[in-house]
Amino acid sequence: MTGMIRLIYHSKVSPGLTAADISNIYNVSMEWNKSVGIGGVLFSDGKRFIQMIEGGASIITQLFRKILNDGRHFDVTLAVAEPLAERRFGDWGMGLIRNSDPNVSVLITKMTGSDSFSPETMGLDELRSLLLLLARLGDDSSLKLFKG
């Protein structure tokens, strides 16, 4: 039995990728992640992705290998890989968060001081806090954030 880990990475959205393509990534991820007990959150402002995934070390490694080789994004940069004493997310698959949601854009602006979002300039703690906050937004009231 391997331990649980959490990965956070960011990447750039490949040219030509549409909102529908991002929804498609979300739908496939939701299904698969749920079936293997992975939880996480995927954020995109249409230019960037940031994703946090949590689950068993070997399944997370397997998933991250697929993600690294996925042509729908590039410059995939691993920001955090850490053991997890306690899982933050349930094994409900994947939340999708877009900054078109006003709650989300307010939060991003508050945390980064700008509405043009650049994960490269954020520290690890900041990135982690942002994702956990976004996830909490999704947990609260509006699962609409996730379920479209």
Ligand X SMILES: Cc1cc2nc3c(=O)[nH]c(=O)nc-3n(C[C@H](O)[C@H](O)[C@H](O)COP(=O)(O)O)c2cc1C
Tokens representing 144 are 């609409």
Tokens representing 107 are 């939060």
Q: Which is nearer to ligand X, 97 or 110 (CB)?
A: 97
Q: Which is nearer to ligand X, 49 or 117 (CB)?
A: 49
Tokens representing 77 are 């940069």
Stretch in the footprint of ligand X (CB under 6 A) among 65-73, 80-88, 99-107, 131-139: 65-73
Which residues in 98-117 contact ligand X (CB under 6 A)? none
Question: How many other C-beta atoms are found inside a 10 Å radius of the C-beta of residue 147?
Answer: 11
Q: Does 53 bind ligand X (CB under 6 A)?
A: yes
Residues facing 54 on adjacent strands: 6, 39
CB 97 within 8 A of CB 29: no
Residues facing 127 on adjacent strands: none
Which of 10, 73, 98, 128 contacts ligand X by CB under 6 A? 73
What are the residues binding ligand X (CB under 6 A)? 25, 28-29, 32-33, 40, 42, 49, 51, 53, 63, 66-67, 70, 72-73, 94
